Structure formats: C-alpha cells, structure tokens
Amino acid sequence: MMKGRSLFQKMAAAPHIVWAVLFIVAPMLFVIYFAFTDVNGKFSFANILSLSQYSNVFVLSIAFALIATVVCLIIGYPLAYFMAKSKPKTQRVLLVLLMLPMWCNLLIRTYALMALLDNGGLLNSLLESVGLNKLYIVGSDFGVIFGMIYDFLPYMVLPIYTVMSKLDKRYMEASADLGCNSFQTMTKVIMPLSVSGVISGITMVFVPSISTFYISQKLGAGKIDLVGDTIERLFQNLSTYNVGAAISLIMMILIIISVSIMNRFSDDDGGMII
C-alpha cells in the first residue's frame, strides 16, 4: 500500500517536474551559458566585466522598485486591514473592486493609464477646462513609479488581507482584556502576526517592479531606461545578446538574494525571527 501511494505521488509530481525543467531550469542554464560566452561561443568573462557601464541603470531600477514597494505597503496595509475588519459582504465587494483591474492584461491597463495621464489625456483636458496648468506625468520618473504602484498594488494587498482575515479574534480580545488600546493591539498583536503577509506582498511587488520594462517604456515615453528595457534592447541584437544574458543573470541573482533576505525575517507562523 505504501509503495502504491509513493508511486502515485511520484506520478502526480511528474508533470510539475517536467514543466519546471523545461521552463525554469533550462532557460536559466541558457542564460548562464550565454552570459559566460562570446558571440563565437567561446568562454569569456567579458560580458560580466562590461556590466559596470550599466551601473546607473541598476541603481535606478532598484530605486524605482523600492519606492513603488514602500508606497504600495503604505497604501496596501491599511486597505488590507480595513477589508479584513469589514463585513463579509463588504469584503466581497472590495475584493472584486481590487481584482477587477487585474482581469485586464497589463498592456491594456498601461495603455488605459496613458490615456488618462498623457499630455492630451483625460486628466490634463479636465485641468485645462477649469483653467489649471497641465501635469506632465507621462515621460517623468513619477509617471513610471505611479504605473508600477497602479499595476502591482493588488499584489501587496491580497496576501496581507489573507493573513489578517485568518487571525484568531481571541488574540485581539485577550489584548483588550490585558489593557491594550487599539493602537497597542495593532502594533503588538496584529502587525507581528501579519508579517508573513507583508513579506509576501513585498516580494510580489518588488520582483516585478525591478524587472518591468513595458511600464517604463510607455509611461516613461522612452526617456527612462530601466534594467528590463536594457535587456530587451540587448536581446534584439545578436552582437549584444550575450551582454543581455549577463544582465539577466545578475538580475536573477539580485532577485534570489532579495527573496532570501526577506524570507529570513519571517517564519511559518508569520512572526519575526530574532
């Protein structure tokens, strides 16, 4: 019986293993291969050594991703708390409103945002109609960061809301019985217990923000060059394909390091590891 169950488990895991090998492991091996070879296929460190000229792009991408992640956390945490404390019917309505933009493709959402924020868009037309100056958002740093926040905010709210909605109400009741006010209950009970959701939200916002390229292309109007834009441009030319692979390898390492660091500060129960 145990052997049959073990065989069934292996068969059930086989499709996932095949998928992971074909679409995760194999592409990573290809990236590593091209990162350490030249255009002739010979082993070389030249691609890695040439990355110093892209240091400004890395710094700008990390800065934009950090700002977008922090703002999403500042907005998302109170929103998740409000949703978790609402009545079940209100929670369902808020969840639908939060998820509704995600039902559309990222490209469509970004184009819609351009239509609203462009120099001749709906927002500036409204401002001009009331005699106010235009806001030049598209083509600015603010426009790109705003696009990241708009597109990735649900990824911050949902994991925090999920954790908060499952918290045992007896913890809050015990806190009140011990003399804690609402602020103390929030800082000493709710926030420590929701750390796992915060960590998940930070990871789910930071990773796509640091690697995005379409948002920066459209809302940056081609004036802002992030890591994703650089990789896409380098991959379009065979002579720079290997350098693009080297940047992709560095990005994978940075993402793995950031995820490992964030996971270091959360345990399975959502508490902080000291």
The model's pLDDT over 43-91, given as tens digits with 9 standing for 90+, comes to 999 999 999 899 999 999 999 999 999 999 999 999 999 999 999 999 9
Measured in degrees and rounded to the nearest 5, phi and psi for residue 225 equal: -110, 110
Closest of 96, 74, 77 to residue 85, by C-alpha: 77
156 vs 16, more confident: 156
- Which pLDDT does position 249 carry in this prediction? 93
- Which pLDDT does position 128 carry in this prediction? 87
The model's pLDDT over 181-210, given as tens digits with 9 standing for 90+, comes to 888 888 888 999 999 899 989 999 999 999
Residue 270 φ/ψ region, left for φ over 0, alpha for ψ in the -120 to 50 degree band, beta for the rest: left
- Which pLDDT does position 2 carry in this prediction? 47
Residue 37 pairs in a beta bridge with 43
- Which pLDDT does position 266 carry in this prediction? 57
The model's pLDDT over 209-268, given as tens digits with 9 standing for 90+, comes to 998 888 998 898 878 889 999 998 998 888 888 999 999 999 889 888 877 877 776 554
Longest dimension (CA), the chain: 79
Percent of the chain with pLDDT over 90: 40
- The answer to whether the beta carbons of residues 45 and 253 sit under 8 Å apart is no
Model confidence at 131, pLDDT cuts 50, 70, 90, reads confident
- Which pLDDT does position 76 carry in this prediction? 96
- Which pLDDT does position 271 carry in this prediction? 41
Alpha-carbon span 95 to 112, nearest angstrom: 21
Model confidence at 269, pLDDT cuts 50, 70, 90, reads very low
- Which pLDDT does position 272 carry in this prediction? 38
For residue 270, pLDDT beyond 60? no
172 vs 156, more confident: 156
- The answer to whether the beta carbons of residues 124 and 118 sit under 8 Å apart is yes
- Which pLDDT does position 135 carry in this prediction? 87
